Structure formats: structure tokens, C-alpha cells
Amino acid sequence: MLRKENTLPMTCSHCNNVGFLQRNNSLDDKSRIVSSFKERQASKNLLVCENIEKDSRFGRAETDFSNLFARDLLPAKNGKNSQCSSYWRWLTFFYTMYEKHLIDPPKSYTFTILTNFLKVLKASTWSCLKTQSPWSKSWWIVGIPSSMESEQDILASSTSSQQDWISLAWLGNGSHQLLTLTCLYEIAPVFVLMEQITLRKMREIIGWTEKDGDGIFSPGGAISNMYSIMAARYKYFPEVKTKGMAAVPRLVLFTSEHSHYSIKKTGAALGFGSENVILIKSDERGKMIPADLEAKILEAKQKGYIPLYVNATAGTTVYGAFDPISEIADICEKYNLWLHVDAAWGGGLLMSRRHRHKLNGIERANSVTWNPHKMMGVLLQCSAILLREKGILQGCNQMCAGYLFQQDKQYDVSYDTGDKAIQCGRHVDIFKFWLIWKAKGTVGFEAQINKCLELGEYLYSKIYNRQGYEMVFNGEPEHTNICFWYIPPSLRGIPNSQERQEKLHRVAPKIKALMMESGTTMVGYQPHGDKVNFFRMVISNPAATKSDIDFLVEEIERLGQDL
């Protein structure tokens, strides 16, 4: 569901439902902190930057942000003591301090510091932010001064607010054009190291036990999937790099009919041809049917083609279905095929102990696409392609441009990532992800993902037996995709017919158009296969609440009742 921004404050009044956790706080801790926060709010001591007027340039922000939760930074309906404006004042202070340091920079900032940074990054945990003195210097590199006051180190003052942390990261980026190019370690050392460490952590979460692996952040899931096909091709037919696709037998790729269109698109772009991207049948829940995969592989082999690659989807776009990865992995092993898991949408569930079983078998994949910008709430774009085997990306893409990737630099040039990418410079997508991870911790991601899934269950259970609704597929959804038809009163009780289907096909577009015109909310729809237009509600915003779901249902019924 997309709510336009002027309706956002509506989510604010229900913020008790927001599932952010900070550090490793237990729920007890949390309620204690909330009480403490309320007390101090009552004394009006917490949210006012008291000294800011005394010295207009270097006033100190007395606010302790370390105990605030995401909702605390949302605009408040009551207006008074707005945490939002307090946050903005704090940011102002922050940049004023930054300016001060620009004018009188710390003398100790040299490249040498950077070479120690990796150790610090490695030492930091994924559960919370640490206040460590080496950070103080290191933070300069990313444009954020840490030493505002020792007792309120920026790193300890994690506000847990996804949006605000991101803005902060972007501000940092915005001030440092020089640091946004991540193809060379020397240009963006911190970001290169952050990428490396984060990718390793993600591989660990996938369950790969290899010491070394590989990966890179790319501009979106479609490009990540493109990398996976390039890697598979290079692994089995490295000669394509120099001689082209004409030099090898006809290679075929397999993906389910419910998979993302980027697999087929990439197949066309990379010179396989879209006809050589074979679509495997999915069951009524949208999950790939392994028997059909095996049959299609055998069929291709009989024709003399070479099966190369299978894409299994973890979280399909429309139904949110999870392909049976283990069974698909068995087939890939049997026929020696590259197994890619497109977990762009479902990868976030790996963070949840409750839901990660849906991706069982992913540890047998050769490559994985995982978009933190989806279920993990990182601002667009943040997509990773992860590979179990090291060296393939580099081998596949490197051109060794001497003017860029010199080998006689004063640092370990294996940190230069440019030659394994198809891009040259890249956006720093890692920084916002890293900040959010540090702010929320792994446990925070788990909580927000569980929360979204629960909201999906809430919607499902709300409309499952409600008059005027039909579900598109049977059973509880595996992801937050809730697919349903709204049947206006005029179509209820009418037996199914071509005419009724045609009328029903026009209902969702009409309701969506009315929503857009009234500007209240928005929900997507589409036809799929032989199914006429149905609504697809997808929940990935951790600030969404049950009341948002209720509102959506009310709106559908309000706008659709006379159709």
C-alpha cells in the first residue's frame, strides 16, 4: 500500500504498534525507557535544545536522542515539544559543529587513519552501536563528526528512525561529493570497507560456510540478477567473455512463470535471447513445480541445448511465493546447473527466526539477490548480489584499465572494487543500510519484519471471510502479499460468467483511480495469468499499523460500493 505523504501523520497516532527495537533492549527495557522518556518530557527537559539560543553558532543540543524511538521523531499531532523539529534543530547543531571542524580541522586526519578502519569495522558488532574512540576520527571520513560531546556520541545516539537515519546518511553524502565513488578504495575507503564487511555478514546469514565469498551492491534487483547470469556463464563458459555467445552452444536459463521479469529481460540483454529463458510452471500458490523444472531441463538437453542456470524466487512479486529451494537445489546438483535465488523481495525474512525457514535451501545456492531496500526498509536503492565463490565476478568483468586500477599503489589494491562491477563509479548504497543496521541491530530488523508479516496476516484474516471479498489463492500467504478481489454489491451472488469476469476486471482499476483522485491511499492491482484484475496489498513499511489496514478496507468499500 502506498499512502501519500499528506496522510502520513495518520500513522502517527497509532505508533504504539511500531515495531522498532533499539540495541538489544528487551521489552522490559523498552517500557522502562519509555517511562523515563515520558517523565523527562513532562519536565520539558528532554526535547528542547536549551542552549541553542545562547551561542547561535555552537549551541549545544542537550537532547539525549539515545532513548528515542522511531515514532518519537515523527511529527506530533499535539504540536508542542515536537520531536521532529527538535531533531531538525539537532541536525542544525550537528552541521554547525561540522562547520567548526571544517574551519579548524583535526590535524590527525590523514590517510593512515583509514588503514586502521577495517579493524574497527570488523570489531564492531551487528547488534548495536559501540562508542569507541577510533570511531571519532573515522567518522570524519564519512562526513559526520562524532565528538559533539563525549557523553552523546553520535554513534550512541541512535534514533532508530529509518527515515531520519537515512536523511542523515544522505546529508553526509550530499556534503561529500568526493566520497560517493566506490570503485576505488582510495576514493571511498570507508564505504568500500563497509560494503565488504556487510556483504560478508549477509553471506553468513544466508548460511554459506565458505571463508571467502563475493558480492557487490548494484543499482537494483534487476541488475543483481543480471550479475548472477553473467557469473554463471563465466563459471561454465569463460570463453564467452572474449569470443561472445556465438562461440558456445545454445545456453538456456530456467525461471518460473511467476518470477520477476528481469530474468527474461537480462537473458535478452546478455545475448541468450528471451526464447532461451524457459518458463517453469508454478502451482496455484505461485511456487515453482520442481517436476516441471526437471522435465524442461531434459527437454532442452534432448534438443541439444545446454542448461546453464536456474533462478528460484524467494518471494515472488505478485503472490509473495517462495519456490521450494531445496528441491530445486537437488535438481541443480543432479544436472550441474548454477542455482541462483532471487530473494530481492523475500531476503529480508532471513533476518527473522520465525520466517527464515521459508528460504530453506538458500545455503545451497551459488548466488543470491537480496534487496535491503524492500523488506528491510532501506531507502531505494540498496540491492546486493552475493556469490558463494570468490573471484568469479572479478574474472567475469575485469578489463584491467591501467589508468584506473594501477597495481603500484600504496595500499592493498584488492580493495578496489571497480573492476568486478559493470559500472564504473557507483552510488554509495551501503551507507544508509549500514547506518540502519547499526541503529536497529539485527534484532530490530527481525522485529520490523515480523511486524509486517503480522500485519499481512491481520489483513488476510480480516477479509478472508468478509462479505464482498474473494482471495486469489487459497491458504495463508507466505509473505505480506495479500491478493484479493473486491466484489461490489452489484456483482455479488451473480454466478460466474464471462460478463461477470469482465465487470470484475474493471473494479480494481476504477477503485484505484478513485483513490488517486481523492488522494487518500493507493493500492496496486494487476491481472495474472487467467485471473482478472485483483488487488495486491503489500506491506513493507514498518510504520504501518492495523488502523492503516482498517482504513484501506474502509476506503475500498467506500469507493467501490456503487460500482
Contacts to its own copies from residues 24-63, by CB under 8 A: 48, 53, 56-57
- CA gap 164, 166 in Å, rounded: 5
User: φ, ψ for residue 280 (rounded to 5)?
Assistant: -95, 145
Cβ 463 to its own copies shortest distance, Å: 20
User: Which range in 33-41, 146-154, 247-255, 489-497 contacts its own copies by CB under 8 A?
Assistant: 247-255
Burial of 174 (0-12, 13-18, 19+ CB in 10 A): exposed
Among candidate residues 305, 126, 342, 381, the one with its CA nearest the CA of residue 228:
342
CB neighbours (10 Å) of residue 160?
26
User: Which range in 14-22, 25-33, 101-109, 196-204 contacts its own copies by CB under 8 A?
Assistant: 101-109
Residue 485 binds its own copies, judged by CB under 8 A: no
Q: Which of 147, 167, 360, 442 binds its own copies (CB under 8 A)?
A: 167
User: Which range in 191-199, 265-273, 279-287, 325-333 contacts its own copies by CB under 8 A?
Assistant: 265-273
Give Cβ neighbours of residue 73 (< 8 Å, ≥ 6 apart). Answer: 83, 84, 87, 159, 161, 163, 164
User: Which range in 126-134, 171-179, 453-461, 552-560 contacts its own copies by CB under 8 A?
Assistant: 171-179
Residue 420 binds its own copies, judged by CB under 8 A: no
Task: Show contacts with its own copies in window 423-442 (CB under 8 A).
Answer: 423-427
Q: Which of 42, 291, 404, 494 binds its own copies (CB under 8 A)?
A: 404
Task: Show contacts with its own copies in window 436-475 (CB under 8 A).
Answer: none
Cβ 402 to its own copies shortest distance, Å: 6
Q: Which of 123, 268, 291, 298 binds its own copies (CB under 8 A)?
A: 268
Residue 147 binds its own copies, judged by CB under 8 A: no
Element at 340 (helix H, strand E): strand 338-343
Check residue 379 and report its DSSP letter: P
User: φ, ψ for residue 551 (rounded to 5)?
Assistant: -60, -45
Q: Which of 66, 152, 173, 196 binds its own copies (CB under 8 A)?
A: 173
What does the per-residue mask of binding to its own copies show for 78-97, with x meaning CB under 8 A?
Answer: -x--x-xx--xx-xx--xx-
Cβ 359 to its own copies shortest distance, Å: 21
Task: Show contacts with its own copies in window 356-385 (CB under 8 A).
Answer: 379-381
Residue 137 binds its own copies, judged by CB under 8 A: no
Q: Which of 67, 282, 397, 448 binds its own copies (CB under 8 A)?
A: 397
Residue 422 binds its own copies, judged by CB under 8 A: yes
- CA gap 219, 373 in Å, rounded: 11
Give Cβ neighbours of residue 148 (< 8 Å, ≥ 6 apart). Answer: 60, 61, 93, 94, 97, 154
Check residue 356 and report its DSSP letter: G
Return the exposure string of 308-347: e unless at least 16 CB atoms fall within 10 Å of the residue's CB, then b.
bbbbbbbbbbbbbbbbbbebbbbbbeebebbbbbbbbbbb
The residue count for the chain: 563
Answer for the pair 251, 308: CB distance below 8 angstroms, yes or no: yes
Q: Which of 38, 516, 554, 561 binds its own copies (CB under 8 A)?
A: 516
